[in-house]
A and B are shown apart, each in its own frame.
Chain A
Amino acid sequence: MKTVNIKSSYAVSNDVISKEIDGEIVIVPLESGIGNLNEGMFSLNKTGKIIWEMLDGKKSWL
């Protein structure tokens, strides 16, 4: 499992696309196989959305 360094800053990868739909963030990795989409799609609730929107490559958690 990957660990998160709270002193590092993180940004959204260019290898994913995301869209806000009715208050939810939907995230799709561009290259994650074939088959049905649910095997490669994520949706974030309100808490996840707040964290996602903070991933600007500048902020760290400390």
Chain B
Amino acid sequence: MTTYIKYYKTAGITFSVKSDIPITEDTFHPKFKLFEVDAPGDDNVTINHHFYVPKKLLNCLNPNKSKKVFTNEFLSVHKTNNMWIYNQKASTRFNIKYNAIVIFNDEHTKGDVYTNDLNETSYSEEHIGSLVLFGGDHYLLANILSYRQGFLLHANGLAFNDRGILLIGKSGAGKTTLSNMLRQSGFSLVADDRVVLQKIESKYYLIGSWCHGSNVAVTNKKVLLEKIFFLKKSQKNKIITETSTHERLKQFSSSIVRPFGDQEKWKNILNNMEKIVKHHFFYSIYFNLSKNICTVLKENL
């Protein structure tokens, strides 16, 4: 039987997607083009797509067989000794298109995706936005990065003269508004609403991936992280150094997309959080819509 394979790479990790039915140019969303590579790399994650759901798999969701660690309107997550089981229910309200069961090994390096909701015809033209058929690959990346000195952050990454800045703020804080103003002022986008932050040889880099917010805006850029800004809407434009450890921890951690995890994974995350909080420059940035903040920010870089 022929196996069809596509490779996508971000943050030094190559994702091999394998299927028994053809993967066409239109199977995945066009955003993946930026990340497509020809072959596996040094660090690989394999995701096998299956177009059926075996009955024995449903048994794994039985409380006697696995422990339910999370549930919401469209997803339940179960854990056995060596597997993570994600049971996704299609939901128009949450823009979840497929019923699917996804099984990953502990480290999330090998996954099997099972669904009855796609066939050869639909799979060939679907423009799927996630390699695991979820609403996005946020949970997958958050878990994988936690083993690789990294985070997935709910934040915006931008760059000016190859100097990376991180914009952190709750939904509605103005991340998109400020990002748009900065882009009009010469900054370039690294990642919109979901950005990878990863330690590479003792330095932290902002990296673009195919994860994003409600707007599909992705890049495959990688820039050195210089400064971190917490967003505050205001009548004035000013930048103030954030010296409080409590505030740094609170605000930075608020942006981390939480992986499911064990003690080892969380030790990695907290160790990296400590390094970032101790060794990077944090600021509160107050801004209005006049765009004057762009000049103030450039002067502070």
Contact = CB atoms under 8 A, between A and B. Distances in A.
A36 B70 CA distance: 14
Nearest to B248: A22
B260 interface: yes
Give the most central of B70, B139, B253, B254: most A CB within 10 Å: B253
A37 to B, nearest CB: 4
Interface in A28-43: 28, 30-31, 33-41, 43
Interface in A4-37: 17, 19, 21-24, 26, 28, 30-31, 33-37
B257 A28 contact: no
B263 A36 contact: no
Contact of B258 (A17, A26, A34): A34
B263 A40 contact: no
B84 to A, nearest CB: 12
A3 interface: no
Nearest to B71: A33
Contact of A17 (B77, B257, B263): B263
Contacts of B262: 30
B240 interface: no
Given A24-B246, A40-B258, A19 B274 contact: yes
A35 B142 CA distance: 10
Contacts of A43: 246, 249-250, 253
A43 B277 CA distance: 14
Measured as residues with beta carbon below 8 angstroms from the partner, the interface class of chain B is: 20 to 34
A45 to B, nearest CB: 7
Nearest to A44: B246
Contacts of A33: 70, 72, 258
B30 interface: no
Contacts of B260: 31, 34
A39 B257 CA distance: 10
Contacts of B48: none
B270 A21 contact: yes
Interface of B: 69-70, 72, 75, 77, 139, 154, 245-246, 249-250, 253-258, 260-263, 266-267, 269-271, 273-274, 277-278
